[in-house]
Amino acid sequence: VRTRLLYASVLVFFLLFFFVPIASVYVEAFRGTGPAEALASVGRVLSSSRTASIVAFTTGQAAVSALIGVLVALPIAYAVSHYDFPGRRFVYSLSLVPFVLPSIIVVVCMISFYGKSGLLNAVLGTDYNLVYNFRGIVLAHVFYDFSLAIRVIASAWRSIDKRYREAAESLGEHPTGLFFRVTVPLLAPAVISGFVLIFIYTFLSFGIILVFGGVKFATLEVAIYQEVFIDLDLVSAAVYSLVQLVLSGAFIALSTRLINQSRVARVGSEADLPRLSSARPASRVALGAYLVLAVVFVLGPILTMVARAFVETGGSIGLENFRQLLVPGAADRNVESILRSSVAGVVWRSIGIAAASGTLTFVAAGAQIGRAHV
């Protein structure tokens, strides 16, 4: 009964906050046109070259971001699933970043660290343009979302049954073979779900593209916004949102299939982890250096942004910027907007976490079903 109640409340939630508003936009878009006319205009939008290039860009940037994101996450996942070291929990908790940072803050972080006047260029004494182009979009996405893959991959890696490795070893498999024939197939589903998670998040990217995309790049999400609020073309907006819905649904479905086929076999083995200091020197140094780099990669931009809040116009350090928030006239609106956005933030982030873990459960459930058939 409790699960049914849960399902019902979830259904009602989605109905109220998701399907009704979406349906109302579609109704508004096609108000006063006949079915034939509506179909014709949908067809026109679907077959336009602009639609094709938006879909291509949206998919392409998400694929590149997800690929790089997974590659960045893999060594971290390996480290936290195989070794204990100071700050392990901290590294593990990096995966919360995407849930607590709003995308507009990510934009500010990127600019203050990687911008032409950012910390990195200042330290190097250069003025490389790292952010206002395709590279910048991918960089911001990897920074924002790579850690989504850490948790998924790490927990899978950790739970690969030791007996498989031992059996293979006793049958004379050497380490390389062991990695490619045992670890990789067992880990693949988790890597794929990590990829898919990042892919779906970046597929729906909005704020980052809006600032760094300029006039050149638009994801479907940005295109929908532009059609609704700038061009007042509700038909195009409706078509784009349908395309987006269908594609992201398809990606989730496809990933579930892939995971089903790859036959996960996981047995929870929560053995105590060896300390990183007990690892071979080479891997100890390599992993340690990588972890430090990763932490700098994530914390550098965030700390730079925070530090910049204390730099006043003219270059001195102080609280003037914060005082400005509270000057009479602006204070009411600022305080209200802070309150409003924190409440909204908490609510939306919770929903985001719920939805994300929902997706994970969904994927994992698919994997379970796959296993049941083996």
Closer Cβ to another protein, 21 or 34, answer by number? 21
Burial 208-247, CB ≥16 within 10 A → b, else e: bbbbbbeeebbbbbbbbbbbbeeeebbbbbbbbbbbbeeb
In whole angstroms, the minimum distance from the beta carbon of 348 to another protein comes to 9
CA angle 14, 209, 239 (to 5 degrees): 50
Please name the amino acid found at residue 299: L
Least distance from another protein to the Cβ atom of residue 24, Å: 5
Rank residues 50 and 371 by Cβ distance to another protein and give the closer one. Answer: 50
Residues in the chain: 374
Closer to another protein by CB, 166 or 231: give it.
231
Residues that bind another protein (CB under 8 A): 20-21, 24-25, 28, 102, 104, 111-112, 115-117, 129, 132, 207, 210-212, 214-216, 225-226, 228-232, 313-314, 329-330, 333, 336, 340-341, 344
Question: Which is closer to another protein, CB of 212 or CB of 240?
Answer: 212
Nearer to another protein, 90 or 128 (CB): 128
State how far the Cα of 287 lies from the Cα of 285, in Å rounded to an integer.
Answer: 6
* Joined tokens for residue 192: 């794929």
Q: Which is nearer to another protein, 112 or 159 (CB)?
A: 112
State the nearest-atom distance from the C-beta of 131 to another protein, in Å: 8
Give the position of tokens 């299939």.
257
Q: How far apart are CB 23 and another protein at their closest, in Å?
A: 10
Which residues have a Cβ under 8 Å from the Cβ of 134 and sit 6 or more positions away?
A: 61, 217
Q: What are phi and psi of 48, to 5 degrees?
A: -75, 155
Which C-beta is closer to another protein: that of 267 or that of 343? 343
| CB 172, min distance to another protein, A | 59
- The DSSP code sequence of 149-212 is HHHHHHHHHHTB-HHHHHHHHHTT--HHHHIIIIIHHHHHHHHHHHHHHHHHHHHT--HHHHHH
> Residue 12 Cβ, how far from another protein at the closest point, in Å?
17
Residue 36 CB, nearest approach to another protein (Å): 25
Please give the helix or strand (H or E) that residue 283 lies within, else none: helix 281-308
